[in-house]
Amino acid sequence: MKKYLVNLEGIGIPKYKKIAIHIKKLIDENKIKDGEKLPPIRKLAEELNVNNVTIVNAYNKLESEGYAVQKIGSGTYAKRKEVAINFKKKYSNVVRRISSEKLRNYIDFSGEAASSELFSVSSFKEVINKVLDRDGTEALVYQEALGYEGLRESIDKYFWRNSVDSDNILIVSGAQQGIDIVSKALINVNDNVVVEKPTYGGALTVFKWRRANVVEIELQEDGMDLDELEKVLKKNKIKCVYIMSYFQNPTGISYSSIKKRRLLNMAEIYDFYIIEDDYLSELIYNGDEYVSFKSMDTNDRVIYIKSFSKIFLPGIRLGYLISPHDFKENIQNSKVNTDIATSSLMQRVLDMYIKDGMWKGHIKKLNEIYRERYEFFRNALEALEEYVDFILPGGGLHFYVKIKEGLIDSMELFYQCEKDGVLITPGIIFYKNPKEGKEYFRLSFSQTDLYSIEKGLGIIKNIFKQCK
């Protein structure tokens, strides 16, 4: 009963509300388990030195807010219906707090971008100076609505072998802005949008903000379940399908060539667009050839989005978008209405970085370092096979792990890990329905060296042992 004790002194908030707030906090923190019976009204009233009506009102408030259920003749029971929703907010707050204060004290398995420690700052400074010497103040103030022409031409030449007209390339401030721009240009209220299940939480937020109807299709080991998608397409008009073609966030799954061709054919048959978020295709460790949906697109059905932030420097918010001809003007207008232009200086610096061959060298270095971490992480995860299952992504920067039934859910695991100095990403972050994904969590090796990987997975293993 000690955990129910709460300070009821002071004026302003009624006692029953204070009691309800305290019990809600205990439920959110899992100190009161889902389905756990709350103390009888008379017993708790005596413990807190209040009358029975106060406890009745407190329990009624908990029930009205979805935190309790009253069973006639049995009592009142804790209910965690909305805990996952609250957890998403708490998770964001915890990560923000740690990021700003004491991230270096943690083993960070939650990072999504390549480590800044692997980036040559001195080389970058040289490029900045070259750009400023060449362009002067023009590099700081001159803006083009589509983005710096030199960078757009370099993207076409070096990444697409001159197969994409640079006028179709739009420079954006990362993938998140790209998704937002496309949504504003393409999606109206109550339009149907298909996403992978699970998927990137930022995309879900954008589609919900546009008040679209979000339809989730399960992922298989080689991409979205296209049989299930076709059933949906036969019954509903779909505006677009959002996919991550390589090392999907969070699952690490990549699309097979068979599914790429089939999805492209379906887009033409059922008249929808594919939003291809090219997440981490530069980091392929298993020897597979990189082939994007966009490069296979003969019917102009793919809207291609690429962020440089994940593999360059996270603080340099740059990416690009390739539009289909039919939506080119709408998408470009959407970008102009959003923020007119992205940093002119950083665009020029990235352009020179690519032209001078430094980009190619940077990606080569990342592949060497992260391939080693990937292999090490895979072997270390195999030592946890008593507690978890996982698939091999073959590239990228993370593994998606499934906790075996009956051990612990990923929200509680997050709290336990955070307490022990380890950060993970719980699976519920990646689902439309916050009740799903509790058995999954994502582990990234982007910010961890081999020693930290071994130590961090050892801590997680100990938590699993205690649960078992």
Q: At which residue do the structure tokens 């757009």 appear?
A: 152
pLDDT for position 1: 66
Lowest pLDDT segment from 33-37, 80-84, 337-341 = 80-84
pLDDT for position 101: 59
pLDDT for position 11: 63
Alpha-carbon distance 189 to 451, whole Å? 49
pLDDT in tens, 397-431: 999 999 998 888 898 899 899 999 999 999 998 99
Region 362-366: mean pLDDT is 92
Of residues 310 and 224, the one with the higher pLDDT is 224
- Distance (Å) of CA 247 to CA 7, 243, 281, 305: 50, 11, 7, 15
- Look up the pTM and report it: 0.80
Above pLDDT 70, what percent of the chain? Answer: 94
pLDDT for position 340: 53
CB burial string 7-39: b at 16+ within 10 A, e below: ebeeeeeebbebbbebbbebbbeeebeeeeebb
Domains 2-80 and 84-111+361-467 equal at CATH topology level: no
Of residues 352 and 112, the one with the higher pLDDT is 352
Q: In 3-state terms, what secondary structure has residue 285?
A: coil
Mean pLDDT score across all residues of the chain? 89
pLDDT for position 369: 94
In the structure, what pLDDT confidence band is assigned to residue 312 with cuts at 50, 70 and 90?
Answer: confident
pLDDT for position 229: 97
Region 188-204: mean pLDDT is 94
Residue whose C-alpha is closest to residue 400's, from 251, 264, 258 = 251
pLDDT for position 343: 77
pLDDT for position 296: 96
pLDDT for position 310: 84
Q: In angstroms, how far apart are the furthest CA atoms of the chain?
A: 82
In the structure, what pLDDT confidence band is assigned to residue 82 with cuts at 50, 70 and 90?
Answer: low
CB hemisphere CA count around 385 (13 angstroms):
6
Alpha-carbon distance 275 to 98, whole Å? 33
Above pLDDT 90, what percent of the chain? Answer: 57
In the structure, what pLDDT confidence band is assigned to residue 99 with cuts at 50, 70 and 90?
Answer: low
Fold of 121-356: Aspartate Aminotransferase; domain 2 (3.40.640)
Residue 331 pLDDT > 90: no
* CB-based contact 292:278 (threshold 8 Å): yes
- Distance (Å) of CA 127 to CA 138, 265, 301, 307, 445: 16, 43, 37, 20, 29
Alpha-carbon distance 329 to 173, whole Å? 19
Alpha-carbon distance 142 to 144, whole Å? 7
Residue whose C-alpha is closest to residue 424's, from 436, 409, 435 = 409
Residue 54 pLDDT > 70: yes
Type of residue numbered 338: T
The CATH number of domain 2-80, selected from 3.30.1130.10, 3.30.1330.40, 1.25.40.10, 1.10.10.10: 1.10.10.10
Residue 80 pLDDT > 70: no
Alpha-carbon distance 148 to 272, whole Å? 30
Q: Where are the domains of the chain?
A: 2-80, 84-111+361-467, 121-356
Q: What are phi and psi of 10, to 5 degrees?
A: 95, 170
In the structure, what pLDDT confidence band is assigned to residue 334 with cuts at 50, 70 and 90?
Answer: confident
Q: At which residue do the structure tokens 């006028």 appear?
A: 167
Question: Is it true that domain 84-111+361-467 has CATH number 3.90.1150.10?
Answer: yes
